[in-house]
Every structure is written in structure tokens, then in C-alpha cells.
């Protein structure tokens, strides 16, 4: 199972957002040696299926970001199928509740030391307080993230996915135990895009993040390799 990164470059997770498995593999081959992991998400998985992500996993460590959320038995089955591919990280939704999280962890444990880190997604980085309120959740993102973070860690998750804005609060509340993977990271001067809760890479690491998920600021740069190297240097 993958452990906490010690080198700056290893903290970076390259988000590959494309439905084209050949393009994904080419980008991973080019930038992968300069980051810790590459992230394959729903766009690629829904377009190309397991066969689309398998070559990425064969080439290096992969964060398989499927955000599984269903009844416990269904999620357990999906985790088993995903683990068979050999990813280093796998996401579920903390909002699925304690029984679902526990079922996911049990399914992953069957794969022994080679199992992926099970990460529970708290509140998506595109969601702000107003959007949460529309779903019936009062109190804002930090309160909801902490509520789900406690639930997830008590139920067997290895770590959490949260925005940069909640990293310090999670560390203050739960200490060093959770592995923290943080999207919504934007280098100074980068476009925010569809993110609502963002911070710079240096700010996010200083708050206590383990890994930073960065996509467009690298993938859409004129030179993605140099962009990734520059981000790592500024950590």
C-alpha cells in the first residue's frame, strides 16, 4: 500500500481528464515521471472502462477516482472489481454512511498489502455553502467536512478527500491519522474554473495536505513537464 510522500514531486497527483485512453496514456508517460501518481476519473472510466485504465496502472501508480456511492453490498462488489485492477488509491463517498464505508474497507482488505488506500470524499470542491444549503445541509462546508471526516475515519477509511479550506481543521480535529488528498489546488495566477474552494499548492501543503490533485494548470500548460516541475519546486 502506498505511503505518505517525502519528496515534493511525489505529493503531486496529475488529474488526467480525457475520455481518450491513448491520450491519457501519452500524457501519463510524459508527465508521470515528474509526479507521484496520475488520476483516472469517471470521464475516462465511463468512456473506456477497466480496459482504459489498466494500461495507466501498468505504467505507474494510479489514483482511481470513481467516488463510489451505493448500498454497502454494491459498493463492496465495485471495490473488489476496482482493486483487481491494481490502483494505489480508490475513492468512495463518505456520504454513503458508516456501513458502506466499512463494507468498502473489508472488500479492499481481502487484497492484502497490495490493496489501494481507501479515500472517503467529504464535500466536493465545487460546492459552496449556498449549494450545500440547497441540499438541506446547514452550517457550511467546514462543519459538514468535519462531520463526514469523523464518520469516515471511524468506519475504516484510510484517508479523506477535501478542499484546501478544510485541511487545517481536519488536522486540528483528527490529527495525523487521515491521509489527505486535496483537489481544488491552483497555482498563483491559474484560472479557478469550476472550483469553489481553492488555495495555492504551498498553502495547501503548509496546512497539512499529503497529496495535491492538479489537472488543468499542468495538462493545459504549454509544457506540462515544466509546469509540474515548477509546482514541485515551489512546495
Residues with a known catalytic role: 67
CA distances from 193 to 30, 44, 190 (A): 24, 20, 9
Report the C-alpha gap between 38 and 63 in whole angstroms: 6
Residue 168 makes CB contacts below 8 A (sequence gap 6+) with: 207, 208
What 220-228 contacts at long range (C-beta under 8 Å, 24+ apart), as own/partner pairs, is: 224/27, 224/30, 224/31, 225/30, 225/31, 225/34, 228/9, 228/12, 228/14, 228/31, 228/34, 228/35
Instruction: Show the beta-strand stretches assigned E in 95-220.
Output: 117-121, 159-161, 179-182, 211-214
Strand-pair partners of 181: 161, 211
Our CA angle for 71, 75, 80, nearest 5°, is: 155
Three-state SS letters, 98-112: HHHHHHHHHHHHCCH
Report the C-alpha gap between 208 and 164 in whole angstroms: 9
Amino acid at each position: 500500500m502506498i505511503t505518505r510522500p517525502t519528496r515534493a514531486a511525489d505529493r503531486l497527483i496529475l488529474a488526467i481528464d480525457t475520455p481518450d485512453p491513448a491520450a491519457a496514456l501519452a500524457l501519463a508517460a510524459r508527465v508521470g515521471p515528474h509526479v507521484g501518481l496520475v488520476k483516472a476519473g469517471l470521464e475516462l472510466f465511463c468512456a473506456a472502462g477497466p480496459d482504459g485504465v489498466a494500461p495507466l496502472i501498468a505504467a505507474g501508480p494510479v489514483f482511481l477516482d470513481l467516488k463510489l456511492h451505493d448500498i454497502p453490498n454494491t459498493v463492496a462488489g465495485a471495490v473488489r472489481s476496482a482493486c483487481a485492477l491494481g490502483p494505489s488509491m480508490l475513492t468512495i463517498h463518505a456520504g454513503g454512511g458508516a456501513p458502506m464505508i466499512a463494507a468498502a474497507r473489508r472488500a479492499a482488505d481481502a487484497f492484502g498489502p497490495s490493496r489501494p488506500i481507501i479515500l472517503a470524499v467529504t464535500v466536493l470542491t465545487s460546492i459552496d455553502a449556498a449549494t450545500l444549503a440547497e441540499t438541506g445541509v446547514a452550517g457550511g462546508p467546514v462543519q459538514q467536512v468535519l462531520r463526514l471526516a469523523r464518520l469516515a475515519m471511524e468506519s475504516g477509511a484510510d484517508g479523506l478527500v477535501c478542499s484546501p479550506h478544510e485541511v487545517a481543521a481536519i488536522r486540528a480535529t483528527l490529527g495525523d491519522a487521515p491521509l489527505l488528498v486535496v483537489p481544488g489546488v491552483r497555482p498563483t495566477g491559474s484560472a479557478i474554473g469550476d472550483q469553489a474552494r481553492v488555495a495555492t499548492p504551498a498553502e495547501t501543503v503548509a496546512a497539512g495536505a499529503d497529496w495535491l490533485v492538479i489537472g488543468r494548470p499542468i495538462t493545459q500548460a504549454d509544457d506540462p513537464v515544466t509546469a509540474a516541475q515548477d509546482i514541485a519546486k515551489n512546495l
